[in-house]
């Protein structure tokens, strides 16, 4: 800001003979002007200027020939050449303001636009720029700056989407170090950050830098890891970058070049493709402003191409925006005048000469209706040759979109589109605008690309730097469990399971990885692994390879690969053999299972007795004998040794279902009891981590393990209870001594270490309880290292092809001590495993009882009580039937207790007597009253 102000002051102090216009009137006003002036301020002899000039002149002619816009008013344009100079551009702007222009078209340079914006702010003249794309020009400090092209803000987000689409994580930004370059690259950094990517290096060079300076810059860039380059420079000198890159061999396979819209603007301005130029650009991806095809666009391009004595052969997208800028000013002026606006200019009291100055600042006058005219411009909405001319609340054109181009051969092909509406797509934005917006990752698509080196394979986007520095790999110098990683006298200086896994994964990568192993630790005790991870984050190592557990606090500062070994914390404790119990036969079932089984034996026996009692003489007799029969029959079915026969259909149905249930229960009991009596049972007073947490006894921890912090921070175990153990001998000694002998009650360590320890002690100790954490071992790399991703893929490949298991068998073959203690409870059978069988048996019994009860009640209703008055042995003829009222419970029980044959005989006799009485009634004999 200070530089701009000093620059402006310096400009206005120069001799300004052209400002000799007289006139001290405070105001010049015209309600119906016959002519209006607009200015055009840009570099005429430039790629953009040579396209914009004929487009602006054509627009002036079209406006003046259109009677529907500004009728009876001639629109004049005053051209000023900025000559790519901020100083000259400011001078030309000041001279242009003397011409009482109501609007200014341009400039094309973002740097000059920053300076001129201060001038138009003071004089209230809208500045319509068709080529200044610096996003910072949208700041509130430039209210009279109106961008009639797309801001680089959207272009940089399009590049970020491309980077994400191809899976790259780092890019190098090559840009011109001015307002245009810095503003765009700043937005690119923000856009990449949202995609979890970044600019790894900003390679800036001065405007009009010599080829030697660009060469030195690219030599340094080529020594870096990233191979994705974003080139954001001026079209007049941008090809120098690719020329130097070609000479350095940076346009070959493995490189990615993404150019902003300057490159298509340059190529579109050429009538024919220069073979030498195109050879520099093979495989480059570029973005070009998307302008929809239409009749207006085709008509204009045809007119421009047919102009005589034209300076250039073709026109780029900036010519379209310049043409629409003139029409925007014309439409706004027409609307402004129709709304009653006046074209008047007033002297600015702050602009006056003092102390004898001859600068004649008073000749610069303010456009009185500038604020109203600005609002009219921002409210315009019409379709131009470049598309819809309408502004959003941030003064950006609506529907920003770009064509994604791939340069190859003698031209370029369109591989897709980018729009702020749906991002990357192979469908035209105009079609997408008619659909709901969709920015999901799955919807992003572009056609295939031919990359530098004429390859269709997507470049990896990074390589190891060409500066000869190998990868610095930190390796823990262990003193215990050296099967995992340890120092070695031969190359590469380390050995072990972890080293072999890392080497095997490196060998699967499609590129060489120079590496150097560096031991971490003094060799007298295991290093603290948290410190090793901190060293990687502090750039002391590029990576750390070893038996490192992936835990939360470590993943916050480094990136880990896919786990190559599962791990988790377990508890190791001394165990002793559990003595056999005289009540071991009760262990197969738990208490509830025993109770329910016994209850069902009695229930089924009682149900069968009820169903068989009336028809089966084996289920009759004195009450004591019948009770014994029920118990005997119930429990004899357990061994399928019941001697009583069942004759009723319902009884047989109940018994068949019950015998099936008994068969399943017997088989399960036998299997469980066999397991309990044949498998050795071990016991320990420590049952797992919960027992340790509730006690106050000492706990052993491996030296350098993350378990120290985990037990203290996560489980709130007192630090004074933790005992550091350095090797396997100390493990065994501490467990044998126990807490009373100066040892430990148990050891908490990771499962891979514990398996080796148990194997070395002939399974003298055991793990108690389950793993209480789940994690894995991985290799640590610095944040955002692409090698971590590639190695993760290689580790998965090792796992799938079986090589990972082979390496495991080579280093970690040991005796299995997988027997867990306190397994008795877990082998007990519960009601949960058999409730379905009991439910089926219970339902069967219920159905049988319901059917039996229904039959008995039906018989009881037909049964006549008078039949009971005779001798039971001699069945007396039944008296005439009569209604049974309020039968007692005793009569019902006595009825149920009678034999089925006896009841049937009584009912048969009763039926015969009823028929006999019916025959007497038909003969006319009187009947006794009922």
Q: Which residues of 145-168 are buried (b: 16+ CB within 10 A; e: fewer)?
A: bbbbbbbbbbbbbbbbbbbbbbeb
520 and 544 share a domain? yes
- Rounded Cα gap, residues 505 and 499, in angstroms: 10
CATH of the domain at 213: 3.40.50.2300
Give a three-class secondary structure readout of 666-735: HHHHHHHHHHHHHCCCEECCCCCHHHHHHCCCCEEEECCCCHHHHHHHHCCCCHHHEEEECCHHHHHHHH
899 within domain boundaries: no
Look at residues 618, 646, 678 and tell me which one is the last residue of a structural domain.
678
Say which CATH number the domain at 509 has.
Answer: 3.40.190.10
- Asked whether residue 494 falls in the same domain as residue 520, the answer is yes
225 and 283 share a domain?
yes
Tell me whether residue 903 is in a domain: no
CB atoms within 10 A of CB 389: 21
Range(s) of the domain holding residue 607 = 584-678
Cα 715 to Cα 284, 694, 697, 699, 725, distances in angstroms: 57, 11, 15, 13, 20
Segment 787-833, tens digit of pLDDT: 898 899 999 999 999 999 999 999 987 666 644 444 444 467 777 77
In this structure, are 557 and 590 located in the same domain? no
| Any domain includes 558 | yes
pLDDT lower than 70: segments of the chain: 1-31, 271-272, 307-314, 351-362, 466-468, 576-581, 583-585, 616-618, 620-621, 639-644, 647, 676-684, 814-827, 862-894, 897, 900-901, 904, 907, 911, 913-930
Q: Which residues pair with 174 in a beta bridge?
A: 203, 231
Last residue of a domain, one of 812, 835, 862: 812
Q: What is the pLDDT of residues 468-525, one digit of tens each?
A: 678 999 999 999 999 999 999 888 899 999 999 999 999 998 888 889 999 999 888 9
DSSP 337-361: HHTT--EEEEE-TTS---TT--S-G
* 222: in domain: yes
3-state helix, strand, coil in the chain (%, to 5): 45, 15, 40
Same domain, 114 and 219: no
Neighbouring C-beta atoms of residue 462, cutoff 10 Å: 23
Which tokens in the block code for residue 172?
A: 């190098």
H or E element at residue 519: strand 515-520
Look up tokens 């049952």; give the residue: 687
Q: Which of 583, 553, 581 is nearest to 706 (CA)?
A: 553
Does the residue 9 lie in any domain? no
Q: Among the three residues 351, 370, 389, which one is the final residue of a domain in this structure?
A: 389
DSSP 8-state assignment for residue 31: S
Same domain, 164 and 283: yes
Q: What is the dihedral of CA 702, 705, 707, 712, to 10 degrees?
A: 100
Interacting residues of 573 by C-beta distance below 8 A, sequence separation 6+: 684, 686, 735, 745, 746, 747, 765, 766, 767, 768
**Number of other residues whose CB lies within 10 A of the CB of residue 742:** 11
Q: Report if residue 99 sits inside a domain.
A: yes
Number of structural domains the chain divides into: 5
Cα–Cα distance measured from residue 734 to residue 737, given in angstroms and rounded to the nearest whole number:
5
What three-state secondary structure class fits 820? coil
Q: Where are the alpha helices (DSSP H) in 166-292?
A: 179-194, 211-222, 239-247, 262-268, 275-280
Which of 568, 580, 814 minimizes the C-alpha distance to 683? 580
In a domain, 836, yes or no: no
Strand (E) or helix (H) holding 630: helix 623-636
CA distance 565 to 808: 9
Q: Are residues 176 and 65 in the same domain?
A: no
**Residues 6 or more apart in contact with residue 591 via CB below 8 angstroms:** none
Q: How far apart are CA 728 and CA 742, in angstroms?
A: 17
Same domain, 281 and 418: yes
Q: Kindly state whether residues 165 and 224 are assigned to the same domain.
A: yes
Same domain, 730 and 601: no
SS3 481: coil
Same domain, 160 and 263: yes
At residue 586, the pLDDT reads 73
Distance of CA 380 to the CA centre of its chain: 42
Structure tokens at 930: 């009922």
In a domain, 321, yes or no: yes
Residues 673 and 591 in one domain: yes
For 693, phi then psi, to 5°, come to: -65, -35
């Amino acid at each position: 800001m200070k530089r701009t102000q000093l620059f402006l002051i310096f400009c206005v102090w120069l001799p300004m003979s052209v400002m000799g216009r007289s006139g001290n009137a405070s105001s010049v006003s015209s309600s119906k002007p016959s002519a209006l002036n607009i200015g055009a301020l840009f570099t005429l002899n430039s790629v953009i200027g040579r396209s914009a000039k004929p487009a602006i002149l054509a627009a002036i002619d079209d406006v003046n020939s259109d009677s529907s816009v500004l009728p009876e008013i001639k629109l004049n344009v005053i051209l000023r050449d900025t000559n790519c100079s901020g100083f000259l551009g400011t001078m030309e702007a000041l001279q242009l303001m003397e011409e009482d222009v109501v609007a200014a078209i341009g400039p094309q340079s973002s740097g000059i636009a920053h300076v001129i914006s201060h001038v138009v702010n003071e004089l209230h003249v809208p500045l319509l720029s068709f080529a200044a794309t610096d996003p910072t020009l949208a700041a509130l400090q430039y209210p009279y700056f109106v961008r009639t092209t797309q801001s680089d803000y959207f272009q940089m987000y399009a590049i970020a989407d491309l980077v994400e689409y191809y899976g790259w994580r780092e890019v190098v930004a090559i840009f011109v170090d001015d307002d245009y370059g810095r503003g765009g690259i700043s937005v690119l950094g923000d856009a990449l950050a949202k995609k979890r990517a970044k600019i790894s290096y900003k390679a800036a060079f001065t405007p009009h830098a010599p080829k030697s300076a660009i060469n030195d810059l690219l030599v340094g860039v080529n020594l870096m890891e990233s191979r994705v380059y974003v080139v954001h420079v001026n079209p007049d000198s941008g090809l120098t970058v690719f020329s130097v890159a070609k000479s350095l061999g940076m346009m070959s396979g493995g490189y990615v070049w993404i150019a902003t819209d300057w490159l298509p603007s340059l190529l579109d301005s050429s009538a024919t493709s220069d073979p030498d130029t195109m050879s520099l650009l093979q495989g480059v991806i570029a973005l070009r402003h998307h302008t929809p095809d239409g009749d207006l666009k085709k008509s204009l391009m045809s007119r421009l191409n047919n102009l005589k004595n034209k300076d250039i052969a073709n026109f780029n997208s900036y010519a379209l925006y310049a043409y629409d800028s003139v029409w925007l000013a014309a439409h706004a002026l027409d609307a402004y005048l129709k709304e009653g606006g006046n074209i008047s200019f007033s002297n600015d009291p702050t602009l006056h000469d003092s102390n004898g100055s001859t600068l004649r600042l008073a000749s610069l006058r303010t456009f009185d209706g500038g604020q109203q005219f600005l609002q009219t411009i921002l409210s315009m909405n019409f379709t131009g040759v470049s598309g819809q001319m309408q502004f959003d609340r941030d003064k950006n054109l609506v529907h920003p979109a770009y064509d994604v181009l791939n340069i190859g051969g003698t031209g370029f092909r369109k591989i897709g589109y980018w729009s702020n509406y749906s991002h990357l797509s192979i469908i035209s934005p105009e079609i997408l605008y008619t659909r709901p917006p969709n920015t999901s990752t799955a919807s992003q698509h572009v056609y295939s690309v031919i990359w530098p080196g004429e390859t269709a394979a997507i470049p990896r986007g990074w390589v190891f730097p060409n500066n000869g520095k190998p990868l610095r790999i930190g390796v823990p110098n262990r003193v215990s469990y050296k099967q995992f990683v340890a120092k070695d006298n031969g190359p590469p200086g380390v050995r072990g399971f972890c080293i072999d896994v890392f080497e095997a994964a490196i060998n699967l990568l499609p590129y060489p990885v120079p590496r150097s192993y560096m031991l971490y630790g003094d060799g007298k005790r295991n290093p603290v692994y948290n410190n090793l991870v901190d060293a990687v984050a502090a750039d002391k190592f590029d990576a750390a390879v070893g038996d490192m557990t992936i835990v939360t606090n470590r993943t916050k500062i480094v990136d880990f690969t896919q786990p190559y070994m599962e791990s988790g914390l377990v508890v190791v404790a001394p165990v002793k053999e559990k003595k056999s119990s005289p009540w071991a036969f009760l262990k197969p079932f738990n208490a509830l299972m025993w109770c329910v089984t016994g209850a069902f034996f009695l229930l089924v026996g009682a149900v069968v007795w009820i169903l068989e009692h009336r028809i089966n003489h084996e289920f009759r007799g004195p009450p004591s004998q019948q009770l014994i029969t029920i118990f005997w029959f119930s429990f004899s079915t357990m061994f399928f040794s019941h001697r009583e026969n069942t004759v009723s259909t319902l009884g047989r149905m109940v018994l068949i279902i019950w015998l099936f249930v008994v068969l399943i229960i017997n088989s399960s009991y036998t299997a469980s009891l066999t397991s309990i009596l044949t498998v050795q049972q071990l016991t320990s007073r420590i049952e797992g981590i919960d027992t340790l947490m509730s006690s106050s006894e000492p706990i052993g921890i491996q030296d350098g393990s993350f378990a120290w912090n985990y037990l203290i921070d996560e489980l709130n175990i007192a630090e004074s209870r933790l005992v550091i153990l350095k090797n396997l001998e100390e493990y065994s000694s501490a467990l044998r001594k126990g807490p009373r002998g100066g040892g430990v009650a148990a050891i908490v360590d990771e499962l891979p270490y514990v398996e080796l320890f148990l194997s070395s002690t002939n399974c003298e100790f055991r793990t108690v309880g389950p793993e209480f954490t789940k994690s894995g071992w991985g290799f640590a790399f610095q944040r955002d290292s692409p090698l971590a991703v590639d190695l993760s893929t290689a580790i998965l490949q090792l796992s799938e092809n079986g090589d990972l298991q082979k390496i495991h068998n080579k280093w970690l073959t040991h005796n299995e001590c997988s027997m867990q203690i306190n397994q008795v409870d877990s082998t007990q059978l519960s009601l949960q495993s058999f409730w379905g069988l009991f439910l089926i048996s219970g339902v069967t019994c219920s159905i049988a009882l319901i059917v039996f009860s229904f039959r008995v009640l039906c018989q009881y209703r037909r049964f006549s009580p008078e039949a009971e008055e005779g001798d039971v042995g001699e069945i007396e003829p039944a008296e005439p039937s009569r209604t049974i009222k309020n039968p007692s419970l005793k009569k019902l029980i006595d009825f149920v207790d009678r034999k089925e044959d006896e009841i049937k005989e009584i009912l048969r006799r009763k039926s015969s007597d009823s028929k006999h009485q019916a025959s007497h009634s038909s003969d006319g004999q009187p009947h006794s009253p009922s």
